[in-house]
Structure 1
């Protein structure tokens, strides 16, 4: 077992990648009270620019230089997907804690290897499935435990940022983004949330995918799916369905999850995260996020008074804070680890197999 290098009480952080998600990570690092030591990018110029924009102390020529510097305790990997595995594995071998964006890898076997490697090294290795950190998701999880057997899990994750042929991104390229684009990018969040809230495992799936925008201006013919629909069953016998799309006009980031159980239902909509819908035979209500009335499980993730809206940044800040607490030896319930990242990669692989083979596939 490798010992994580800690030369001071102050947690020292490095980030590889300074795009949108790198900026989100950097903000959460500062919110957690850690020290942002260095940034590495695809070039020296990008690293210098990233260090300046993100408020880091130093710019590093490469991820390898940052990892081997001896100046950091934890590495955040915020690169295109195909670079996640080699960088994260090098960081684990160097005795660092790792926060790696999902998907962990562009294939399930490599993601599984990463999870095993994290266990062997004993390092804290976390994946930003940050929607777990909405207080109303924690409230849903706590309340669902008292509603009896779950019968139905349904929902979707809809976006429109790749709606036009002029909309393009490295994620469209399977060599950089992986073979399952919409499923791996946003479907992974939905599947993780469904299993986290219910505590139940998906055991078989039957899926369809579609390419809606056949050509994109900078990448040519599209080889990865724009949308997918998936039917599934769980270990407890619940049935489910989900639709994921990156070409749904007007939907910016709608992650929706509804669960029906024996004595009640509940639903969460990420575009309206201050409310949790609660349904029963006698009526329904919208529960407002209020730390004065939330459960013990949800209250720690609800630092603002009711009426002061919380959102994505707050979830990310809570995720990073819990990760750093785990690095310090504390247990934080629900922290998504490389095991969860490997699980997501496995489900992506199974869904793609179902599409290819045209039927139900066991997970």
Structure 2
């Protein structure tokens, strides 16, 4: 046996066993979670669908080894390390609570809960249990987002005066379009803002280090759809004006009925020395504007900051996108689960609680015809 072969065998013997993961919910997000888990080296050993009779189909859909009819059975018999919760929003809190109570690490889709009190209870429970508990605010993991964050932290912008942007989609732009999220009984009291506006606000606070302090919001139901079940229809669009803790001004438009816009999260931060703009549909680039000229920064590991280059998985010119962000988020979550130092910028249940508080303020302001409302916490 050669030295190389012996070294490889020792490494294989000393390598930790793959994490055992379960995916609860087998829709689009369940498939994304399962793929990211596999790419991070985990075994997807269990899956659960919304209906017991669909357990086997759910396992096939996400590529799990076995399907379970209910969460109690999964937690009791599957011996999982991490549970990924990808159910309709109204079921998040109950499932996350059960998993944490069983001593399992949790990745829970946002919104973490449909009420602030539930999100706060989950955040407290995760801390008390000593479990890793994360929420996939995955746009943080675009390398050019990390580059913008690095440059803002280095004060390249000078005095930041304002931030503005939008998050626009069109998948509900037709009156005939329907989804469980339309109904508040399953999707929660907010749809467009809780679903995608929360992503924008999380990204702003992450890159700037500032926080939304006060806001004035309006919401709109563009299509009067027949809500499924007893719940009310939720908003198609929202417009938010805000002031940050540092006194900066901001505006945000959110819509899921903007024809032609598929998943456009756009953010621009304006400074006296430099301004920065990022578009999630063009994630390989970051616009840098100065008074004497502007330029486009491209994702290139050779010229980026170390904080950004860490997430550049491919050489320059080989495009990275949404699944790459998700893969990086799950990989960092699993590093924390294995006991490594918590990676910088890992979004936790505390961030899920923060998003719930901003959503609560948006709804309160909109109900009060745009009255300025404090964001708690």
TM-score using structure 1 length: 0.95
Q: 2:191 aligns with which of 181, 198, 217?
A: 181
Corresponding position of 2:34: 26
Tell me the SS of whatever aligns to 2:317.
coil
The structural deviation recorded for 1:219 is 7.0
The structural deviation recorded for 1:217 is 8.3
The structural deviation recorded for 1:69 is 1.9
Q: 2:281 aligns with which of 260, 263, 271?
A: 271
Tell me the SS of whatever aligns to 2:33.
helix
Larger Rg, first or second structure (1 or 2): 2
Corresponding position of 2:363: 352
Corresponding position of 2:350: 339
Distance 1:163 1:324 in 2: 37
Q: Does 1:231 align with 2:241?
A: yes
Q: How does 1:193-272 map to 2 (within 5 A)?
A: 193-216=203-226, 223-272=233-282
Q: 2:125 aligns with which of 111, 117, 125?
A: 117
The structural deviation recorded for 1:112 is 1.1
TM-score using structure 2 length: 0.92
Distance 2:256 2:363 in 1: 17
Corresponding position of 2:96: 88
8 Å Cα contact 2:185/2:229 also seen in 1: no
The structural deviation recorded for 1:45 is 3.3
Tell me the SS of whatever aligns to 2:306.
coil
**Is there any run of 5+ residues in structure 1 with no aligned partner, and where?**
1-7
Q: How many residues align?
A: 356
Which digits, 9 at most, give the CA deviation of each residue in 1:92-144, with x for residues without a partner? 01100000000011111111111111111110000000000000000000011
Q: Does 1:301 align with 2:315?
A: no
Distance 1:165 1:317 in 2: 34
Q: Does 1:105 align with 2:117?
A: no
The structural deviation recorded for 1:192 is 0.2
Corresponding position of 2:182: 172
Q: Does 1:314 align with 2:314?
A: no
Q: How does 1:114-193 map to 2 (within 5 A)?
A: 114-145=122-153, 146-147=155-156, 148-193=158-203
Tell me the SS of whatever aligns to 1:167.
coil
The structural deviation recorded for 1:43 is 2.4
Q: 1:289 aligns with which of 282, 299, 314?
A: 299
Which digits, 9 at most, give the CA deviation of each residue in 1:233-269, with x for residues without a partner? 0111110000000000100000001001231100000
8 Å Cα contact 1:160/1:251 also seen in 2: yes
Tell me the SS of whatever aligns to 1:205.
strand
Two-structure CA RMSD over aligned residues (Å): 1.4
